[in-house]
Structure 1
Amino acid sequence: MTATLAGCGGGTGGTGEVTLKLVAADYGTGPANTSRKYWDGLVKGFEASHPGIKVDVTVHSWKDIDREVAAMVKKGQAPDIAQIGSYADYAKAGKLYRADQMVSIRTQANFLPSLAEAGSLNGTQYGLPFVASTRLLFYNKKVFAQAGLDAPRTWNDIRDDAAALGQRGVTYPFALPLGPEEAQAEAMMWLLGGGGGYIDDSGSYEIDSAENVRTFDWLKTNLVDKGLVGPTAPGKLDRQKAFEAFTDGRVGMLNGHPTLMQEAERKGVPVGMVPMPGINGPGRSSLGVADWIMGFKQNGHRVQLGKFFDYLFTDKNVIDFADAYDLLPVTDSASAAMESDTRYKPLWKFLDALPDSQFYPYGKTSWARSSESIKENVGKAVEPNGSPASVLGRIARDSAAAARAD
């Protein structure tokens, strides 16, 4: 499952025996729920209905997948299909088919518009959204009830509720994971609530905007300096550790995604979920996160890739994967099907948030370097002697330099 694949040559048309090489990420936590099971079932169905096209699947962990694909491409052995975390570098290098060169008009038009846009480089879609998630504010309903608190709607509600929970001995009144694991997500949720974000309307970075500095000034003054974020400094707290503390009942509030919901309930923690509060009320948009699947040009299997992707993005296949990992479908029709099925009621709030969600600037090839600077530095903005303006300014300079190098 971790062997590097060689590319498959030949077969540029729609006839003849062709084997598509597919490399995918593993969303499971072990052999019992490995993504390999999903792909094996999907490929079996596809091959049965598409004689002459075989699919050879390799699954790598998320720790390894991007590096493995990059190494394959560098060797001149690109897979036909890669399901990974980003597409822009390969699209810019001219290595990917456009979406409209592969999939049917019906398939392309069925992607949620916000995801189709996020999968586009310079207005052209190359990244096909594979799966998505949104974020909501989670709170422990038991400790909130014990403290006589209602769900927060504004930042001041978060501050006041956290103070009340702290007085009652809750270890992490508000868990603020700005550690290197996923600081770019936590930071963006707060920036959106403060009327800012990572880029402006023209697509340029605006990381040290007045709105963003104000947001981190508020976080530092109202939560961190008041000791309401728990015993671990935000810059040292990773998302997974914060999630584990929540499922252990030691967190009052934190920002979470659908997978956390099931794990918390499995461990007996009653979960409340509301849209991420903003300065004066619920935020106008949530953070959305997507993973991507794409077709490489190298082996010339455009027609076969299109047939595979049209099959992959049927409602059943989209829903089966999303359901297996408590994630969200990426198409209008699959989303509508889940919204009308009470089996998926726990996901409805996340589905409601998805169409208006804001995504990372996936189409900027500089985003990977900008994201690394955020992960490395943004937690310093709320340190005891930290300066939000200075730290965000440093990240902005790093991002601008990365953009100029594109």
Structure 2
Amino acid sequence: MQRRVRTRTIAVVSALGLTGVLGGCGLGGGSSDVTLKLVAADYGDSAANSSEKYWADLVERYESEHPDVRIDVSVHSWNDVDRKVKEMVDAGDPPDIAQIGAYADYAAEGLLYKAGDLLSIPVQADFLAQLTTAGEVNSVQYGMPFASSTRVLFYNKKLFAEAGVTPPRTWDELATAAEALEAKGVTYPYALPLGPEEAQAETMQWLLSGGGGYTDITGTYSIDSARNVETFAWLKDELVGKGLTGPVAPGKLDRADAFAAFAAGDVGMLNGHPSLMETAKEKGVEFGMVPTPGIDGESQVTLGVADWMMAFRENGHRDQVGDFLDFVYSEENVLDFSREYNLLPVTNSASRTMAASGQDKDLKPFLDQLATSELYPVGNTSWATVNAAVKKEIGKAVAPNGSPAGVLGGLQATATRAQTAG
């Protein structure tokens, strides 16, 4: 697949493995003084909406005003992009800029520029406060948020009406609704995806709704806290143990499969992020969205997720990198990306515009949750280890012979060792 774009060379690898080369000489036929390498993740689900199109347009506009700078962008699927950047770093040839899932390890190794050394003061100050904090290591911001999302409870309106139930606000109401859906033959009354694809998200959503979380207020891991154990004991006894989570064991059910089942009309309710809206609409599923139910009312905190931009120091070019990132984070560009991929803006200015815009009304339930969302402890270099362990082990906590206290205790031990080693 090829598309010619004036003013640069940009190599792109889409999520489907298609490679396109968008080529051209520098503005006016001359060579650029500086070439910046950017590796980015693909948020599209096909070649038609690959993120390569977003970056191609953005880079063309930037280079038209900056003929002395060329931006070479490589876009890779989420299955590959973090590994690709790690391979480049390990080979001693990191990109100038990377837009991937985690930054803390690179910051801890001293490989990254501080955000304050790159961005203009107005741009850095425009980031949402909780995302700025999540981008810090030892109170210094290295990770610049690029995209964000929150979670709400999706429910199938047709199935709820047939079961005679209303959207739940509490755990008990959720269990009651699930029982009514199960009695009507719904395949997955509540879909509980604790499989390895994204178990860390479903886990954190439930921990937060029970008043807990992965860490305490000091940032120390508290995975096996009494509240967290009680949350998973309730899940095991009141949902999984009563056959209300469907035919696939939660530890084997991946998020993508749960979303596909919801779009097929086989799920009564599940936690979901904005991309599920389009998937469900395409399949003709009429759905509603409500805040995550909590133990005794709507959850006071919901899960927030952010992806990260970072700049490596190896090649220098600090001024050029900073100027380009100021352009990337303009209100126009942040809104364009968020609207294209049904994600939430990471800046205050774009968030205000989206909140006031009728064209973004579908995203408003997620945007309303953002201010009170809590993110993964991505600033801890130990999080990568803990994240992997949660994906591997958490499904066992709700298995028939599983022990919530035992599994969470094992994860706590893993977290403590990882934090001490870091």
TM-score under structure 1 normalisation?
A: 0.96
Residue number in structure 1 paired with 2:380:
364
| Structure 2 residue 315 is matched with structure 1 residue 299 | yes
Task: Give the structure 2 partner of residue 260 of structure 1.
Answer: 276
Q: Which residue of 2 aligns with 1:223?
A: 239
1:238 aligns with 2:254: yes
**2:145 aligned counterpart, secondary structure:** strand
Which residue number corresponds to residue 42 of structure 2? 26
**What is the CA–CA distance in structure 2 between the aligned matches of 1:221 and 1:74, rounded to whole Å?**
46
Give SS of 2:390's match.
Answer: helix
Deviations along 1:322-377, one digit per CA (max 9) or x if unpaired, are 11111111000001111111011000010010111000001000000001110000
116, 120, 128: which one pairs with 1:104? 120
Which residue identity lines up with residue 331 of structure 2 in the other structure?
Answer: D
Q: Is 1:192 the counterpart of 2:192 in the alignment?
A: no
Number of residue equivalences: 394
AA aligned to 2:54 is: Y
Query: What is the identity percentage for the equivalent residue pairs of Structure 1 and Structure 2?
Result: 58
Which residue of structure 2 aligns with residue 396 of structure 1? Answer: 412
Q: Choose which of 192, 195, 199 in structure 2 pairs with 1:176.
A: 192
Q: 1:289 maps to which residue?
A: 305
* Matching of residue 89 in structure 1 with residue 117 in structure 2: no
**Equivalent residue, structure 2, for 1:44:** 60
1:67 aligns with 2:96: no
Residues 1:343 and 2:359 are matched in the alignment: yes
- The structural deviation recorded for 1:285 is 1.1
Find the partner of 1:380 among 396, 404, 412: 396
Secondary structure at the counterpart of residue 160 of structure 1: helix
Aligned counterpart for 1:153 among listed residues 169, 177, 182: 169
Structure 1 residue 49: Cα displacement: 1.6
AA aligned to 1:114 is: Q
SS of equivalent to 1:287? strand
| Equivalent residue in structure 2 for 1:329, among 338, 345, 349 | 345
CA distance in 1, matches of 2:35, 2:153: 45
Of 247, 254, 257, the match for 2:263: 247
1:236 partner letter: K
Question: 2:315, 2:142 → 1: CA distance?
Answer: 17
TM-score (norm 2): 0.92
**Aligned partners of 1:97 and 1:161: how far apart in 2?**
50
Report the Cα offset of residue 51 of structure 1: 2.8
Q: How much has 1:316 moved relative to structure 2?
A: 1.0
Match of 1:132, SS state, is strand
2:136 is aligned, of 120, 126, 146, to 120
Alpha-carbon distance between aligned partners in 2 of 1:247 and 1:158, rounded to the nearest angstrom: 20
Structure 1: give runs of 5+ residues left out of the alignment. 4-15
Q: What's the offset of the Cα at 1:148? A: 1.8
1:364 and 1:46 map into 2 onto residues whose CA distance is 34
Larger RCO, structure (CA 8 Å, separation 6 or more):
1
Give the secondary-structure state (helix, strand or coil) at the position aligned to 2:224: coil
